[in-house]
Structure 1
Amino acid sequence: MESNNIEKKIVSLQLGRAVKNDFTVARLCNWGFPQVIESSLISDGRPFPTLFWLTCPFLKGEVSRLESKGMISHLEKRIEQDKSFATAFLGAHRETTLLKEKILCEASVSGESRRLLLDRGIGGIRNLKKVKCLHLHLANYLGGIDNPVGREVWNLLEKKQCSSTKIICRELLRENE
């Protein structure tokens, strides 16, 4: 898993900081910029539990608005009260762990690092009935995991990409040339 220089530059601009991990782009927006990356599970020789990252500045802003309206609490209550939703959510944790296991089989990873990466849920969360953040679950869903929290977030978004008159990532690149 190795990202090229232009991908690293764009993702660094999207996140507002240098990206240390290797990654692959898991999903592009309609304008051809990364929306979600799949990050290496090891960074600087240490476990890095978040497999999928939401990098799109537009989506990050939209999801932050949902968080500010209390959507995390709402979804945690739904996990507590809706058995089928909770089962699907636990399934997303399992599916993510299986993907991590597959990735780790191809890498040389110590037993302790492997345990730390596989003994926790999506994004390294310990309590599998909690929603750490909506960005994390949307990235997990857009990265290909059948995550009901991520799917719910996606469905709640009124807009899912920048307008053609203001493509944020294009502007970020122009500003940093």
Structure 2
Amino acid sequence: MSPVKRLDMSPVASPKAKAEPGSARARRPPVPAFKKPPQEPEPWQLVRAMKLPPPNPEDSYELSDKGDDSEADEPDRTQKYQPAWSSNYLQVIEAQSDIDPDTIFGTSVPQCDLAVIFRDADYLKFQQERPKRKRGSSGEWHADRLSRQEVGDYKKKMGHKRRWDAKA
């Protein structure tokens, strides 16, 4: 009996199969560009986009400064005007207490660059010198981030159960 020859069916590229650069085989067909689905704006972007009505003078409320000895120096202000919105502010606060603040402000905290906040011009204006402090290891917080579990536990403890709705 003669041995049976077996054909090798494995996909081996022959030297002929390789396409020369610039040949019709080397060019790939155009791929359609798919549009990315519209991204939902972040909650803080919705807050900033809200149009506020002009200020209502009757809603203004004069805040009294509370100092150490201010009570002795100032007259009795218990009868000063109270705007209508202040009559039920505790109920309004209670009605909002279960809203998760992360749904309003977002979960990422922007970097706080003190050089941007306290500019050189500010120090010059007040004739002060910028403090020359060496940054210590206390500025490294990467290893001390909250875990998802800790964030979830905090939300549960605080009663944050619903999302803020910009349309409401």
What TM-score do the two structures reach when normalised by structure 1? 0.20
Which structure features the higher share of helix residues?
Answer: 1
Higher relative contact order (CA 8 A, sep 6+): 2
Which structure features the higher share of strand residues?
Answer: 1
What TM-score do the two structures reach when normalised by structure 2? 0.20
